[in-house]
Structure 1
Amino acid sequence: AELEELEVAACPGCGSCSGMFTANTMNCLTEALGMALSGNGTIPAVDARRIHLAKDAGRKVMELLAAEIRPRDVVTKDSIYNAFVVDMALGGSTNSVLHLMALAHEAGVDFPLETINEISQRTPHLSKLRPSGDYHLEDLDLAGGIAVLMNELRDRLNLEVRTVSGKTLGQDIAGVRLRDGDVIRPLSNPHSDRGGLSILFGNLAPLGAVVKRAAVISEMMVHKGPARVFDSEDEATGEIIKGSVKSGDVVVIRYEGPKGGPGMPEMLAPTSLIAGMGLDREVALITDGRFSGATRGAAIGHVSPEAAEKGPIAALRNGDRVKIDIINSRIDVELSDDEIAQRLSQLPEFEPKIKTGYLKRYVQTVTSAASGAVFR
């Protein structure tokens, strides 16, 4: 009866999930990119303002067409930079890195992963929504939405970029005021001085990996432990349920990247089990797959190169000592470069799970997560 009571009240209405998960993260970032009208990121689905906004958006699309303004006129290196600044202040989903890198590729913009860490280091975390905090998206909307957040960040944003409103970003956010200094904190009182996401590099992820540092407790910001290696999500899930994963372990789930998955599935079941069993304070998880935006804990994803491309994660064996240092943006295994290379040379060639049709062609042409997992 108690479970049923929770189930019928869990979703109060239509729309996306109520936290700062992937859908809401990207919806908010469309405002920062200049590709959406103000309010688009946070107005609830059942709010009358959403209907008005939809009508305004339709009219604006026709105006933009008439003026021959194209997406590439709006999506520029400066606007992508702005999106990452807002992403850091929100503590957005790790999937935002994939999507924004893919968008940069389509726009012909070179945007190195290292730049994301530079943004994180100088952008404070101002709004802490689920799963990192206690607030929900509706609270962010009531506090003034993304326009208010960007106004707090105005000294860190490129304000002269064009937006679909026909104005500059600076003009779009002029005059908005902060309504709730806890849901959206001022720069003088951030949740942390660094942004909510970090890119990790090291001999385990030479091309990078991503973690939602905003959802990692302080005790797990630095963690060293033995690897528990699994070659699929299903294998890992089964062993976690059996209780095979112990305190201090580093769970490794590989061959779930863009090629290996194929399609880079999200590791929601393993991370949910680890959190549900109370192990998220003691166990880390790394994968060449990705995560749900609802994931919390020391969950490091998008490890690149992936196992299917003979990245170092493919060389890991049970018991190898893995060190995760989120504070210093590092992820390493206690093996020399020669040891890693020797192990990789002994591995058989990767055999795709699907050998026919569209997914076969996808596996042959998809790039690393580090570049957005796009087609070559």
Structure 2
Amino acid sequence: MAEEDKKDKELRSSEWFNRTGKDGFIYRAWMKKQGIPKHKFKGKPVIGICNTWSELTPCNSHFRDLAQSVREGIIEAGGFPVEFPVMSLGETLMKPTAMLYRNLASMDTEESIRANPLDGVVLLCGCDKTTPSLVMGACSVDIPTIVVSGGPMLTGKFRGKDVSISDTWRFSDKVKTGEMSTERMEEAEACTCRSDGHCAVMGTASTMACMVESLGLSLPGNAAIPAPDARRKVIAHMSGMRAVEMVEEEQNLSDILTREAFENAIKVNTAIGGSTNFVIHLLAIAGRIGVDLDIDDFDKLSQDIPLIVNLQPSGDYFMEDFYYAGGLPAVIKELLPELHTNEITAAGESMQEIYKDAPNYNEEIISSRDKPFKSEVGLAIVKGNLSENGAVMKPSAATPELLQHKGRAVVFEDIEDYKARINDPDLDVKKDDILVLKNVGPKGYPGMPEVGNMGLPAKLLEQGVTDMVRISDGRMSGTAFGTAVLHTSPESADGGTLALVKNGDIIELDVPNRKIELHVSDEELEKRKKEWEPLPFHMDRGYWYLYQKHVQQAHLGADLDFMQGKSGSTVKRDSH
């Protein structure tokens, strides 16, 4: 057998384009319809460019250009590029929350990859949920895959100061107290997001970009190159080339995403002060690829890793500064003694080979393990009778004095109740109280929105209060900050203890000892449990109904229960 024919037969796409008879005729004829000669796609690795470009996803607004760079790289390496769209999740515009649709987008990605003649795929993702949804979907198919992130936007400039989306909460509080006019806040809108790219801080989008690089799913340096920087297009081009090589080397996602790779990602996320959303997305990805990972692993693996990156919202600088300082490669080099360094990556080399000589150009932004920026760990998992399956918080973005705190619960039954009463001057609330928000979890909202960092009562803001302990079964934006206990599991809508909390109950938070306790007797809780009634579904049809019926709890990754594990790349039925 000729070498070309042997290679052709081994390609997954040959199941389509090598067919004889009417099947092969139809597959090839419709490709030729686009003006493509047979030699362009038959016998060459067919590489899908999975694009989440959408005018409704502003973070990904530059992906048409980025896809073209990927395309050129694929062609240069001898592959055949085919670009295809999947559902795009615009974090800032989608209601009720983009998180509700993460699992739907992952299903779209999975089925688009498996159903089509693709030998490998390049995932173009930037905005918060586009990254985990695409990776989850690709994991379920498990073919050669590489990720290209969109990159962060340039640092905002407002009245002589650097600003970012993290300042939204500060601006909002200042408007409430009269320190800032609404006209001035409107002026800041045009200054905060001034270029292509996702949020300019270590929010969820940047955390996800760092996650894929630390997992080994991207080329080195991918995480932090600013979106407008020409080097973003270069790495897209090189990723397209590498995708072809991965097909030739038969390097699938499961070859990269080992248990050790997930441990590396957790340690790196701790060192960069990544978003709390990292937990729920990494758990979902592990569930798809079949790696045994649980919520306690995040706490165990974070214990000895300090925060060494000085970025907002936990610090002072921005993603643009981070890139100029050396980016994620400099962080990984500093952590190499703590990592599994022989793990293979999408680059075709081990972590040790890639990062051992990575330079650090600014130790004020990227410090060392011996002299860290903050000694507090990036993430902590707290458990107790209020969160039997665990809740997540970010000590590095919290007020240190509140990490051990006991206070009276001020309860909001749902988001509407919170919005109606939070700024009421007659609200019975004091600075040492604990704000509790129910029914914003996966089932309760539905979709688990980013409302866990509740805005403080206006009456306390006027008194100069800047932080309080806040507890919910929701999430918070990676760009946010404050002493917020999040992802409380089981959630209120699933009958968790959070549903039973009443105004005036005493709650104790003890982050150093990883505890959160509701000081109410077991007998009283049992009585309240018998009186509790679950809320009805928000909708009795379509995806919302499917989601509420099958979504797992936060400590399992909030994936749909029937989507766990891999389905593989084989298409078992032909259509012709």
TM-score using structure 2 length: 0.63
Greater alpha carbon shift after TM alignment, 261-270 vs 194-203: 261-270
Q: 1: distance between equivalents of 2:453 and 2:385?
A: 27
Farther-moved stretch of structure 1 (305-314 vs 217-226): 217-226
CA distance in 1, matches of 2:457, 2:495: 28
- Tell me the distance in 2 between the aligned counterparts of 1:291 and 1:69: 36
1:39 aligns with 2:224: no
2:258 aligned residue (67, 76, 88):
76
The one-letter code sitting in structure 1 at the alignment partner of 2:320 is E
Matched, 1:279 2:461: no
* Most deviating of 266-275 and 196-205: 266-275
C-alpha separation in 2, matches of 1:118 and 1:233: 33
Shift, 1:242, TM fit: 2.0
CA contact (8 A) 1:43 1:141 kept: yes
- Secondary structure class of the residue paired with 2:411: strand
8 Å CA contact retained: 2:452, 2:486: no
Which shifted more, 261-270 or 50-59? Answer: 261-270
Instruction: Note the aligned Cα RMSD (angstroms).
Output: 1.8
Tell me which of 33, 55, 58 is aligned to 2:237.
Answer: 55
Q: How does 1:308-327 map to 2 (within 5 A)?
A: 308-327=493-512
Judge conservation of contact 1:228–1:252 (CA < 8 Å) in 2: yes
Instruction: Please name the residue that 2:566 is paired with.
Output: none
Work out whether 1:191 is the aligned partner of 2:377. Answer: no
- 1:159-209, Cα deviation, whole Å (9 max, x unpaired): 111100001111110211221111010111013334211111111001000
Matched, 1:222 2:404: yes
Question: In structure 1, what is the equivalent of residue 530 of structure 2?
Answer: 345
Higher relative contact order (CA closer than 8 Å, sequence separation 6+): 1
What SS does the aligned partner of 2:263 have?
Answer: helix
- 1:211 touches 1:301 (CA, 8 Å); kept in 2? yes
Would you say 1:288 and 2:470 are equivalent positions? no
Q: Which moved more, 1:183-192 or 1:95-104?
A: 183-192
Structure 1 residues 134 and 341: alpha-carbon distance in aligned structure 2, compared to 1, 3 A threshold = same
| Alpha-carbon displacement from aligned partner over 1:100-149 (angstroms, at most 9, x marks no partner) | 11111111111122221112211111012111111101111111111110
Could you tell me whether the CA contact under 8 Å between 1:233 and 1:270 is conserved in 2? Answer: no
Note the residue ranges of structure 2 that are not aligned, 5 or more in a row: 1-182, 562-576
- Are the counterparts in 2 of residues 255 and 288 from structure 1 also a CA contact under 8 Å? yes
2:384 to 197, 202, 208: 202
**Is 1:142 the equivalent of 2:300?**
no
Which letter does structure 2 place at the counterpart of 1:96? F
- Answering whether residue 456 of structure 2 is matched by residue 265 of structure 1, we say no
Distance 1:89 1:155, change over 3 A: same
Partner of 1:174: 356
Q: Which residue in the other structure is 2:281 paired with?
A: 99
**CA drift at 1:361:** 1.4
For residues 5-35 of structure 1, the C-alpha deviation after alignment (integer angstroms, 9 at most, x for no partner) is 4332212311011111000011011110000
Counterpart position of 1:297: 482
The 8 Å contact of residues 376 and 395 in structure 2, kept in 1 or not, is answered as no
Alpha-carbon distance in 1 for matches of 2:457, 2:326: 35
Q: How does 1:107-122 map to 2 (within 5 A)?
A: 107-122=289-304
Is the contact between residue 453 and residue 482 of structure 2 (CA under 8 Å) also seen in structure 1? no
The CA distance in 2 between the partners of 1:4 and 1:290, in whole Å, is 26
Which string of whole-angstrom CA distances, capped at 9 and with x for unpartnered residues, describes residues 270-302 of structure 1? Answer: 347789765343x21111111111221111110
2:430 to 218, 223, 246: 246
Counterpart-to-counterpart distance in 1, 2:431 and 2:457:
14
Deviations 1:300-333 (A, max 9, x none): 1100001111111011111100111112111111
Q: Runs of 5+ in structure 1 lacking a partner?
A: none
Counting matched residue pairs gives 375
**Which deviates more, 219-228 or 208-217?**
219-228
Q: Residues of 2 paired with 1:101 and 1:273: CA distance?
A: 34
Partner residue, 2:347: 165
How far apart are the structure 1 equivalents of 2:500 and 2:456? 26
1:368 maps onto 2:553 in alignment: yes
Does the 8 Å CA contact 1:255/1:307 hold for their aligned counterparts? yes
Equivalent residues of 1:42, 1:141 under 8 A apart: yes
| Equivalent position SS for 1:111 | coil
Q: Secondary structure at the match of 1:192?
A: coil
Would you say the 8 A contact 2:453–2:484 is kept in 1? no
Contact map agreement 1:102 1:373 (CA 8 A) in 2:
yes
Greater mean alpha carbon deviation, residues 121-130 or residues 191-200 = 191-200
- Identity among equivalent positions (%) equals 36
Return the letter of the residue paired with 2:292. Answer: D
Q: Is the 8 Å Cα contact of residues 324 and 330 (structure 1) preserved in structure 2? A: yes
Q: Assess if the C-alpha contact under 8 Å between 1:366 and 1:374 holds in 2.
A: yes
Q: In the aligned structure 2, how far is the partner of 1:295 from the partner of 1:272?
A: 13
In structure 2, do the counterparts of structure 1 residues 288 and 269 end up closer, same or farther at CA, with 3 Å as the change threshold?
closer
Partner Cα separation in structure 2 for residue 348 and residue 357 of structure 1 = 24
Aligned-partner Cα distance in 2 for 1:280–1:198? 22
Equivalent residue of 2:454, what SS?
Answer: helix
Once residues 484 and 419 of structure 2 are traced to their aligned partners in structure 1, the CA distance between those partners, rounded to angstroms, is: 15
